Amino acid sequence: MATAAKSVCVVGSVAIDSVETPTGSAMNVLGGACSYFAVAASFFAPVNLVGVVGRDFPEAERRFLGDCGINLEGLTETDGETFRWHGRYHENMNMRDTLDLRLNVFEHFVPRLPESYRGSEFVFLATIQPSLQAQVLSQLQAPIYVGADTIEHWIHEAPAELRGLLSRVDLFTINDTEAALLAGETNVVKAARRILQMGPRHLIVKRGEYGALLFSADEVFAVPAFPLEEVVDPTGAGDTFAGGLMGSLAADGQVTGRTIRRAIAYGTVVASFTVEDFGLGRLRTLSRDEIDTRLRQFMAITDFHS
């Protein structure tokens, strides 16, 4: 008997982005880790969003998120301007420069979960201060599976708090550069083993155009990125990967070796759509049928059985 889909709660940034890449540019579009994650996860399961925006946040973007079936009870609007980021990517789109960063109302963001969110079964702590991520955990009743992300800044600025958080989460996602920094190991396998010793049940090392690696105590699982002829904008790819992954797990309602491998494949596929347009442009028109079709293509590409 199939398990009923569980809810996903995501806590993090909602932003207005301006992006320049070698293929073009997009100004003042919806961004932020929370936005990318929530839209990706909404293809699979109910999503509860926790974030903060300013009075300037476009009503059309609020409607878009709501039309995706995302619960916005936890999206606080406060005096001031919404978090804004302006970035420019190099020809090698693994590299980018931040031209402007204004935290605005996000600078003083302290996540508070509405009562209706506290029973969320699957939870993802997008990139905020590790101490705030830990505060979110204290507001939850009995989550089945908790994931968390971080960035290099918090590895440098709050290492003790980050390590404390890792002892309380089931899944930790990080890129290969950050993994080496956190673990003090240049070899990705050695780095992964050291991070697992800090507490998480699963570790996913994101490797951009080279895919992702899943590590646990007893296995390593590797997936490539979905091959694309052109990448328009890589912003948010990691967040939509996490959203597709957590949404898929919530849809299954349980975490097993089989469901997490499939979830990683779904996350990879959703991320591949994200980079085909600026911001959330491609996800606005994406359908679940398209996701499932590309998943079958991805499975065929990676099938090595004779």
Residue 1 in domain:
no
Read off the pLDDT of each residue in 244-250 and give the average, rounded to a whole number: 97
How many domains in the chain? 1
What pLDDT sits at residue 305? 64
Task: Identify the three-state secondary structure at position 112.
Answer: coil
What CATH code is carried by the domain that includes residue 124?
A: 3.40.1190.20
Give the pair of three-digit tokens for residue 247: 């949404």
Residue 183 in domain:
yes
**Residue with the larger pLDDT of the pair 29 and 5:** 29
Each residue's pLDDT tens digit, 151-194: 999 999 999 999 999 999 999 999 999 999 999 999 999 999 99
Read off the pLDDT of each residue in 105-133 and give the average, rounded to a whole number: 94
Residue 69 in domain:
yes
Residue 152 in domain:
yes
Give the pair of three-digit tokens for residue 302: 């990676």
- Residue 262 DSSP one-character state: H
Segment among 4-8, 66-70, 194-198 with least mean pLDDT: 4-8
DSSP assignment of 159-186 equals: HHHHHHHHTT-SEEEEEHHHHHHHHT-S
Residue 3 in domain:
no
Residue 284 in domain:
yes
Supply the range of the domain harboring residue 122. Answer: 8-301
Residue 306 in domain:
no
- Name every residue whose Cβ is closer than 8 Å to that of residue 72 and which is 6 or more positions away in sequence: 49, 62, 65, 66
Q: How are beta strands 212-215 and 220-223 bridged, if at all?
A: antiparallel
**Residue with the larger pLDDT of the pair 304 and 143:** 143
Residue 126 in domain:
yes
